[in-house]
Structure 1
Amino acid sequence: MSISLVLACFWAVVANVLAMTPSSDQHWRSAYVLIAVGIPVLGFVTMQHGPWVGMLVFAGGCSVLRWPVIYLMRWLRGAAVRNAAK
């Protein structure tokens, strides 16, 4: 197993451990750190294994960080509606 996939698996384990710990801010601070660390790991995986494996790792990351993705989609939809109304 390559180092990039080991890092991606380690990221997933850390994300699940952080999700199990109690948090006063509903884990948003952990989500920001996971996003900041996960983007370079995703790029490294994509560089070493190609776009298909990169998309699988991206889908796994989106399933772990689903609420930031949901809020991003809501924000993009609202921005599209505001731009269409102009």
Structure 2
Amino acid sequence: MLIAVGIHLLLLMFEVLVCDRIERGSHFWLLVFMPLFFVSPVSVAACVWGFRHDRSLELEILCSVNILQFIFIALRLDTIIKCCCNWP
């Protein structure tokens, strides 16, 4: 229960930071995605705990699997990674 509350609070913090970034544009996207970077290791621990105790997990699996996607989306939004293709 405490792990789920922590994960939901970090997701809420991410949503608040996204709204703030869109409204003001004052900080980098890497800082906006920081709560998701913290959610992923916690989700891995929650998955291990849940599988050992036969609990159902839904949100934790999605958060733990997508850590690389979170990192690359943040890097792309900050234009640290540039697209070298000619797509429109």
Report the TM-score when normalising by structure 1: 0.51
Task: Identify the residue that residue 50 of structure 2 maps to in structure 1.
Answer: 49
Q: CA deviation at 1:42?
A: 1.1
Conserved 8 A contact 2:14-2:35: yes
* Identity %, equivalent residues: 10
Q: CA deviation at 1:69?
A: 8.9
Task: Identify the residue that residue 9 of structure 2 maps to in structure 1.
Answer: 10
Inter-partner Cα distance in structure 2 for 1:8 and 1:50: 17
Report the TM-score when normalising by structure 2: 0.50
Stretches of structure 2 lacking an aligned partner (at least 5 in a row): 82-88
The one of 62, 67, 75 aligned to 2:73: 67
User: How big is the alpha-carbon RMSD for the aligned residues of Structure 1 and Structure 2?
Assistant: 3.5
1:29 to 2:31 alignment: yes
* Equivalent residues, number: 67
**Structure having the larger proportion of residues in helix:** 1
Inter-partner Cα distance in structure 1 for 2:47 and 2:2: 12
Q: CA deviation at 1:45?
A: 1.7
Conserved 8 A contact 1:4-1:48: no
Q: CA deviation at 1:23?
A: 2.7
The amino acid of 1:30's aligned partner reads: V
Deviation digits for residues 24-55 of structure 1 (CA, Å, limit 9, x no counterpart): 34522221x224422332123213323962x6
